[in-house]
Amino acid sequence: MIIKNISSLIGKGVSPILNNAQAVDLEKKCLRSTDDEWSAMKQVGYKTSIEVLKDFQELKPVRENLTLLVLCGKGKNGGDSLLVADHIMRTMPRAKVVVLLVGSRDELHPLTEKALNEVEERVSVHEWSKKSSQSSLDVLIQNEFGEMGGIDICIDGLLGLGFKPPLKEEISQLVSLINKSENIKVRLSIDIPSGLSELLVEDELYFRSDFCYLAGIPKQAVFKKHSTISRLRYIDIGLMEDVNEKDYECDQYYLDNNCLDVLKKLRPANAEKRVFGHLFIVAGSALMPGALLMSVKAAIQSGAGLVTAFAPGSIVRSLSAQVPEAMWIALPETNFGTISAQASDIILSHAYHATAIIAGPGLGQSRDTEMVIQEILQKTNVPILLDADALVPRVLETLHKGKHGAKQIVLTPHLGEFLRMTKLANFSFNSKDLIKMMKNIGATVVLKGAMTRICDGEKIYFNTRGGPVFSRGGSGDILAGIIGAQLAQGYSDAAFASALGVLIHGNAGEYLARNRGQIMVRTTEVLDYLPQVIR
C-alpha cells in the first residue's frame, strides 16, 4: 500500500492537536449525555491503566503490592484518575491506593462522585484543604506508605481543560509539595498536568509529571516546547475518528501507532528483493565507523530488500564481515580517513540501482565530503535522507539545484545540527516559524528531540514515542537507517516515510526500556525490539 499523502491518514493514525476551546467543542459533539460521558471515562480509566503499568516498567518491574497516591480534584479529571486506580486494583488486587481529595466531597462532579463510589471500599480517602501543610502530607505518607517504602505512582487528577490561571492556594501548595517530594517514584497526569495552561510562561507552576495521558484528544497546551513537558501518551477512545481536517483550522498533528498498520500485513508470495527497494548508505569514516554500521544494521532490519554501503576503503573490510547481508563498496579516502571528492564518481556510477539514499552518519566534516553530497543531490532523482555531518549550510544551499529540487529530501537534525545548518543562534520552536522555514527550504525535516517534530512545510507532525533511553550516541544513526528503509521501499511521501520511521524507532526504544530499563543498555540493543513493533 502506497500512501500518497500523510494527510489521508487524518483520523486513522494522524490526529489534529486541538486548543482547549476546540477540544471542549468536540467533546460536546461526541458525548451528548451523561451516559456517554461515563462510558468515555470508563474507557479512559481502562486504557490508561494498561499504559501506566507498561510505562512504570521503564523504572523497574511492577511489584504485586504497588502503592498509589491519587490526587483527586472535583472535576471529571478526578473521576478519570479514580477509574485508572480502579482498573489497576482489578489487575493487581494487592495494590494499595490512597485518595487525596482536594476540597470537600460534596463539591465533586456527579461522575467523579460515582467513580469514588466505585473504589471507596478498596481505598483510603483523605481530604486536602487550605489548612493542610507540609506536615500534613508527611504524616499521610508516613502513616499510609511508611512500611511499604514510599509511593510507587502518584496520579494527578486535580485539574483539566477548564482550568484558568492562577492556581487556587490549596492546589498550588499541594502541587508544589508533590513536585518536591522524594517519596514518589513516578508521577502521572491524566489529560493535562494540573496548573498547565495554553498561555505557558517559564515560571508557571504545574504538576511535573513523568508521563501525561491525553484522554481522547491531543491538546495544544502540552506541545509548547522543544523539550516536552512530560512523556505524552494519547489514549484513543474514538473521539477523533470522524474528525475532518476541514473541521478545525490546524497545522499541528499527533502521530499514533495506527500509522503502522500499513506494515502489519503479509508480503506477496511471489515478491523478490528488488520489490522492497535498494537503499544506498554513504557514511562512515576512520574515526566514526560505528555510525555507518548502526545505520546499515537498522536499514537491513527495517524491510529494505537491498542495502549497499559506500564507505572509506580502510573500514570496509572490518565492517562488511559484521553485516554480510549488505553489499559494501570501498571509496577513495583522504589522509584523515574521510571519503575524498573522487568518491562521487563511484557512487554515481551505481546510482541507477538506488531507490533511496542516506548520506551523512559518521562521514566527518570536510570540504571533500560536502562536495560528494552536493554531487549526489545535483545528479540523482531518488529520495535522499541527509543526517549528521551532511547537515551543513553549503549542502542545504544545494538542495534546489538537484534534479528533483528538495521535494523528496528528508533532513534529520537534532537541535544543534538544526541551528548549524540554518545558521541560527537559537530557535523558539514556534510552529508557524518552523513551517515557514521548511516551506522555503522545500524539504521535510525530522527535528529530533524529546518530542520529535516532522515538518513538510505545510504541517507539523509530532511523535512522542521513545524517551530518555535514546539519550545516547548512535540513536540518530539507527533512526536514519529505519527512515531510509521506508523511503527505499516506496513510501514516496517523505513525511509519511519519516512518520513510519520515528514511530518504529520510538516504539522499539520503549520496548527496550520496559524490558531492560533506560540506563544500563546499549544503543544497538534497540534493534532487537524492532520486530515487536509490527507484530
Q: Give 64-122 pLDDT, tens digit per residue.
A: 999 999 999 999 999 999 999 999 999 999 999 999 999 889 999 999 999 999 999 99
What does the pLDDT look like over 225-258, one tens digit per residue? 655 688 999 999 999 887 776 777 789 999 999 9
Within 8 A by CB and 6+ apart from 246, the residues are: none
Which cell goes with 470? 535514546
d(CA 171, CA 129): 9
DSSP 61: P
Task: For domain 18-249, give the fold.
Answer: Rossmann fold (3.40.50)
pTM passes above 0.85: yes
What does the pLDDT look like over 490-506, one tens digit per residue? 987 899 999 999 999 99
Tell me phi and psi for residue 234, to 5 degrees.
-95, 120
Which cell goes with 330? 570501498
State whether the Cα torsion 315-317-319-323 is positive or negative: positive
d(CA 317, CA 321): 7
For the sheet containing 96-102, what is the strand order?
A: 124-128, 96-102, 67-72, 151-157, 184-190, 211-215, 231-235
- Beta-bridged to residue 339, according to DSSP, are 333
Amino acid making up residue 125: V
The residue extents of the domains of the chain are: 18-249, 274-492
The predicted structure's pLDDT at residue 105: 92
From residue 292, alpha-carbon distances to 38, 125, 395 in Å are 52, 56, 20
Domain pair 18-249 / 274-492, same fold: no
DSSP characters for 428-497?
---HHHHHHHHHHH-SEEEE-SSSEEEE-SS-EEEE----GGG-STTHHHHHHHHHHHHHHTT--SHHHH
d(CA 256, CA 71): 28
Closest to 465 (Cα-Cα) out of 483, 444, 449: 449
Q: How many CB atoms lie within 10 A of CB 449?
A: 18
Peptide bond into 268 cis (omega under 30): no
Q: 239 with 30: CB under 8 angstroms?
A: yes
Tell me phi and psi for residue 512, to 5 degrees.
-60, -50
407, pLDDT greater than 80 = no
- Class at the top of the CATH hierarchy for domain 274-492: alpha beta
* Three-state secondary structure call for residue 354: coil
d(CA 119, CA 413): 48
The predicted structure's pLDDT at residue 236: 95
Please list, residue by residue across 288-310, b when 16 or more beta carbons sit within 10 angstroms of its beta carbon and e when fewer do. bbbbbbbbbbbbbbbbbbbbbbb
The predicted structure's pLDDT at residue 400: 74
What does the pLDDT look like over 146-186, one tens digit per residue? 888 899 999 999 998 888 888 999 999 999 999 999 999 99
Higher pLDDT pick, 1 / 107: 107
Within 8 A by CB and 6+ apart from 194, the residues are: 71, 73, 77, 156, 158, 159, 163, 167, 171, 175, 206, 207
CA-CA-CA-CA torsion for 405, 411, 415, 420, nearest 10 degrees?
A: -50
**N-terminal to C-terminal alpha carbon distance within the chain:** 18
d(CA 448, CA 442): 18
